[in-house]
Amino acid sequence: MVAFGFLFALAAASSTLAHPIHHHQDRDLRIVGSSMSTVWKRQAVPGSEFSVLVDGNKAFKDSTDSALLKKLADEGQAPPFMFIGCSDSRVSEGTVFQAKPGTLFTERNIANQFQPTDPNAQAVLSYAVAELGVQHVIVMGHYGCGGIAAAIASPPASSVDAANGAVQAWIEPIREQLRTSTRTEIVELREKIKGRTDVEEPEISDPGFRALVEENVKAGVSRIAANSVIVNHYATLAGVKASERRDDHAPLGDVFIHGWVYDIENGEVRDLGISVGPPGKAIPAPPFAAVAKAAEKTTVSHEAPKAEPVQSVEARCQEQCKTKRSFLPRDH
């Protein structure tokens, strides 16, 4: 067994060395989202390739309230939102929402997945809920997602290098969803590509592709709602009197989980109508237009909306920031 393991490791290492990552040389080497997320011929950037970042940072500094930056630096963060989004460069949460610093505590990965076996996502959720006291956890997918497109396309025919192997492993839960979903558009897509080994990434307008983007968000919301961090938080909330909520030591506020989808073609954010919250609590409706078709298929209860304004970053800082200067655990 040990010998086999050694041989396997040796083979993997030599394969990686023999096939370094040259994205375009091997037709069999499928890179995630190669048609959906990637433009091989980049536009030439005038001057330094970094100038776009330098200029952007200058514009950000010039337009951002320096007092807010100082306050956040001095008192710490108390973001109202935790955000899980795709790593795609077109869907940055700071860009899409023009969010000020201190607004969104974020985790991004290929195809905005939440897996309880992913220690990064688990740590972000734990810290966001138990320490930062976020009020809303948002999972946001996007149409045209390269990770979802790659999960629809046939897997590479030949062995893959280490980098693409990691991508293929990461998108496997989405392939599983494609294999098992009962949603009409996805069933039709599955039938269309059944038995084929040459499936290309779909067009952005493909109904099955769009449905799988939405179903992947729903899966993320469901996994978060079932996660021990949320289950324990809701259980604790249920046993705590209202008068004891949100003291300075333990942020025991209501936490709601939402599923949204972003349209990279027109910049719109839409609500999938799958929000969940603590048992018995009315769920504040996200003020985004609904994706009607996706909402029809929801299996998660969505209770009547209730007006509950989100506190400003500044107001929340008054309550909580003093104990949340950094990512280090607080003294208890």
Residues that bind Zn ion (CB under 5 A): 86, 88, 145, 147
Choice between 145 and 189, CB closer to Zn ion? 145
Choice between 88 and 93, CB closer to Zn ion? 88
Choice between 91 and 274, CB closer to Zn ion? 91
CB of 241 to Zn ion, least distance (A): 43
Say whether 86 counts as a known binding-site residue. Answer: yes
Say whether 145 counts as a known binding-site residue. Answer: yes
Return d(Cα 263, Cα 214) in angstroms, integer: 11
CB of 179 to Zn ion, least distance (A): 20
CB of 142 to Zn ion, least distance (A): 6
CB of 36 to Zn ion, least distance (A): 8
Return d(Cα 311, Cα 11) in angstroms, integer: 56
Choice between 72 and 86, CB closer to Zn ion? 86
Choice between 209 and 234, CB closer to Zn ion? 209
Using DSSP's 3-state secondary structure scheme, residue 35 falls into coil
Handedness of CA 148, 149, 150, 151 (dihedral sign): positive
- The bridge status of strand 269-271 relative to strand 256-262 is antiparallel
Using DSSP's 3-state secondary structure scheme, residue 285 falls into coil
Say whether 263 counts as a known binding-site residue. Answer: no
Q: Which of 130, 69, 132 is nearest to 105 (CA)?
A: 132
Q: What is the DSSP string of 81-120?
A: EEEEEE--TT--HHHHTTPPTTSEEEEEETT----TT-HH
CB of 129 to Zn ion, least distance (A): 24
Q: Are 132 and 79 in contact (CB under 8 A)?
A: yes
CB of 258 to Zn ion, least distance (A): 18
Choice between 82 and 140, CB closer to Zn ion? 140
Return d(Cα 301, Cα 273) in angstroms, integer: 9
Say whether 332 counts as a known binding-site residue. Answer: no
**Tokens 């995630």 label which residue?**
32
Binding site, annotated residues for Zn(2+): 86, 88, 142, 145
Bind-site residues = 86, 88, 142, 145
